[in-house]
Structure 1
Amino acid sequence: MKPPRNPRSAPLPAPAGLSEADMDRLTELFVRGTPANTLRAWESDLGYIAAWRLQRFGGAPAWPEREEVALAFVLDHSRDLATAAEDDPARVAAETMIAAGLRRGFACPAPSTLDRRIASWRAFHRMRNLASPFEAPILRQARQKARKAADRAPAPKSANPVTRDILHQLLDATGPGLRGLRDRALLCLGWASGGRRRSEIVALNVEDLDLKAFAGQGLIRLRLPGTKTTTKGDTPRLVLQGRPARAVATWIAAAGLTAGPLFRRITRHDTVGRNRLSAAGVAEILRRLLRDAGLPEGFAAPHGLRSGFLTQAARDGVALQAAMRLSLHRSPQQAQKYYADVEIAENPAAGLFDAG
């Protein structure tokens, strides 16, 4: 069982009075005006929803969807199906989903995962100017109760932050040749420019970097094509200096890059390929360097570059607002989490008992 390739592949009806040609243009507008990460999430969620509905109700999604189907989706994903009877329809559907690789197990998914899939389902209705069943009072209440019933601390995206000392260990583990130069430039840019997401790192082109001030001031200015919190063209210009700037400039010169993807695949003959490095490639590079640095398997994930930058900023006493200007966090509360973890041990109130 394979999920649809994208939201346009599902049999969605056009709004009343809209021609097929206008529908195609409207769909294209949605695609062009939606961040790539959101499009990938929509594609994944539509595939999951379509597969679940086929197994649970024997057909493709209806537009608009029936309230009882939407309610069953919430209920099926708000309980541990491992304890359900073997002939329970929800468990039977889950078994098929697991066999198809669309579901990990019988345990209910994290509330954030359920919320995201429902948000996607609602978006598909909005695209067709249809009312979503999830707006019904009973659905709203069911979702609220499902969140509270499954309330748990969110798992960190990286087991440990890649702080400056860890980053230096990883840099020391990079090997010789073009592969080593690329890996050092990637780590330095990803960490020092504010803790970039791997999708942001691999999206960079050479044209996004300004090296005019590098020779005289050792600075490289860069502008990200777009982030989760900024739109394309509105991302503030960031800066690299010192060792990170030198690492990036050295990589560009050694690889002979003048345009196109900044970070590319390296062939087994240590030559620079044409293809852009993928987000999965960044994760593989980090796993390899963690192993070569002698750190435990699973010690950190690519998000550790982002959490590590903010954790280090907190340790060094950098003002939160200054760190956020590079990390581009939209919410101070989100960025503050890293500061709170560091500052609590240094809070004078923690030593009140022994102060007297």
Structure 2
Amino acid sequence: MTTPLPFTDHLPWTDAAALAELYRRGTPDNTVRAWERDLAYVTAWKQAAFGNALTWPEAEAVALRFVLDHASDLSDASGPARDAAEALIVAGLRRSLACPAPATLDRRIASWRAFHRMKNLPSPFDAPLVAQARGRARRAAARPRHRKSQNPITRKVLEAMLATCDSSHRGLRDRAALMLGWASGGRRRSEIVALNRDDIDDRDLTAKGILRIRLLTTKTTGPDAAPRLPLKGRAAHAVMDWITAARIETGPLFRPVSLADRPLPRRLSPDGLSVLLRHRLELAGYPPGFASAHGLRAGFLTQAALDGAPLQAAMQLSLHRSANQAQQYYADIEIERNPATDLLED
């Protein structure tokens, strides 16, 4: 982590360093990176809007101004809010003068509140007036929910992609990555590429046809509660075929493959997995942009709904923390099967 966590105002240096290290080791990497970006953003915004640095605890007036500055489109506006936004654009911390998405504002406020908790200080965003303004800003800027993937990669789509994978190293890798990512619950691309060989437990493969996949870090769990998910049948054997062919004994599970079809020792990146997926979709005859890597996750849940799998059973694999979020995939399917939609039919 390059940006220091904001502990140092009221703790001895040694205690601050120890606490910062505890947060680093006990917090998912994605969360730490978000904290870094958000701390840089709010620091730059405070400087642009007020001409001075952050204070701890921050004043309610500053928190209220932050909410108001991010509650509307500033394209046709003038004044301090637009001036601060333009400074952030120049600094590369803001893309445009458009109103930020409510989720973006919520995340930055959540980070700012987390910084206050780290210092054991009250957050100004808990003040009634600020909380009320934040709620109204969220409703005013509400937007239709957009899917992270244009289309879900359902079983039919996945099978078409798998049919393009041959017995080359690249083909074996792509088949293994796609099948593991889909069949283990719709894994995120960061989770797939983070896997190492020792995260794959193959002790039950011969007797039961099952691998156990250890996910050291996910969006909802950490190393101390790393889930071990089953991978069965074809998907399990596809992963072992790749491991055997690439002679992977230690280190990253999924790796780049050279133009000469030689597996390389370094780890496949999340962007590399996205390229892999787009390539297989195009080979399978789907148009560019048909689905993103999140389509594996959406496709698993959509297929579970189509097959009538109970929501809780699907969530055991997908590791969704919110039933409401997972239910959205089921609702899209179930509404079409609702008997009330056939009341006018014979």
Q: Same fold (TM over 0.5)?
A: yes
Query: Match for residue 322 of structure 2?
Result: 331
- In structure 2, which of residues 69, 76, 87 is the aligned counterpart of residue 83 of structure 1? 76
For residue 313 of structure 1, what is the amino acid of its counterpart? Answer: A
- Distance, in Å, in 1 between the alignment partners of 2:18 and 2:250 is 31
- In structure 1, which of residues 233, 248, 256 is the aligned counterpart of residue 239 of structure 2? 248
Post-superposition offset of 1:172: 2.8
- In structure 1, which of residues 1, 6, 15 is the aligned counterpart of residue 3 of structure 2? 6
Does structure 2 retain, via aligned residues, the 8 Å contact 1:66–1:133? yes
For residue 22 of structure 2, what is the amino acid of its counterpart? Answer: L
Query: Match for residue 25 of structure 1?
Result: 18
Q: 1:284 to 1:59 in 2, by over 3 A?
A: farther
Q: 1:333 to 1:116 in 2, by over 3 A?
A: same
* More off after superposition, 328-337 vs 267-276: 267-276
Whether 1:96 and 2:121 are equivalent positions in the alignment is no
- Distance, in Å, in 2 between the alignment partners of 1:324 and 1:195 is 10
Query: Match for residue 289 of structure 1?
Result: 280
Does structure 1 retain, via aligned residues, the 8 Å contact 2:216–2:227? no
Does structure 2 retain, via aligned residues, the 8 Å contact 1:7–1:46? no
Query: Match for residue 71 of structure 1?
Result: 64
- Distance, in Å, in 2 between the alignment partners of 1:283 and 1:217 is 32
For residue 14 of structure 1, what is the amino acid of its counterpart? Answer: D
SS across alignment from 2:212? strand
SS across alignment from 1:83? coil
Structure 2 gaps, min length 5: none
Post-superposition offset of 1:24: 0.7
Instruction: Return structure 1 stretches of 4+ with deviation > 4 angstroms.
Output: none
- Distance, in Å, in 2 between the alignment partners of 1:277 and 1:135 is 42
Structure 1 gaps, min length 5: none
SS across alignment from 1:275? coil
* More off after superposition, 195-204 vs 264-273: 264-273
Q: Give deviations 1:94-121, integer Å, cap 9, x for gaps.
A: 2232344322221111111101100101
TM-score, normalization: structure 2? 0.93
Q: Give deviations 1:23-58, integer Å, cap 9, x for gaps.
A: 111111111111222111101111221222232223
* More off after superposition, 234-243 vs 144-153: 234-243
Identical aligned residues as a percent: 57
Whether 1:53 and 2:46 are equivalent positions in the alignment is yes
* More off after superposition, 127-136 vs 73-82: 127-136
Post-superposition offset of 1:262: 1.0
SS across alignment from 2:163? helix
Alpha-carbon RMSD across the aligned residues, in angstroms, is 2.0
Q: Following superposition of structure 1 onto structure 2, how do residues 1-356 of structure 1 map, counting pairs within 5 Å? A: 5-8=2-5, 13-15=8-10, 18-85=11-78, 88-174=79-165, 177-355=168-346
Number of residue pairs matched? 346
